[in-house]
Amino acid sequence: MFFPLLSVTLGSEGDHMLIRKILQRAGDMCEPAYQVQKTTALTALVMLICAVICLISAEEWNASTYRILLLARELLRTSASVLLIGIIGAVCIEDIHTNLS
């Protein structure tokens, strides 16, 4: 599957409540952790947009567009990695800030 991260489905009301709690907790973060999270989310979004632009510009699947398609695939994978590292960094900053307060 080309988009493995998009295969997650939300089915029950409990899933929506969990997501609402996560988003509320993210809004209560300290300022440095929030900035790290916001910056990494924007970076991942830009990488995903670039991947879509690469797929649109390739138009068809053949040997001449193979490198563009590989670039789109790597942008997709790297954006997930950047987002994961940013979230881990934001959690570490928030933990340090909470322990110092």
Read off the pLDDT of residues 4-37 as tens digits, 9 standing for 90 and up: 444 445 555 666 777 777 777 777 788 888 899 8
pLDDT value at position 7?
45
Question: Full-prediction pTM beyond 0.85?
Answer: no
Map out the domains of the chain as residue ranges.
31-100
Q: How many CA atoms lie less than 13 Å away from 28 in the CB half-sphere?
A: 8
- Tokens 């910056």 locate to 39
Amino acid at 75: L
Report the C-alpha gap between 29 and 4 in whole angstroms.
29
pLDDT value at position 13?
62
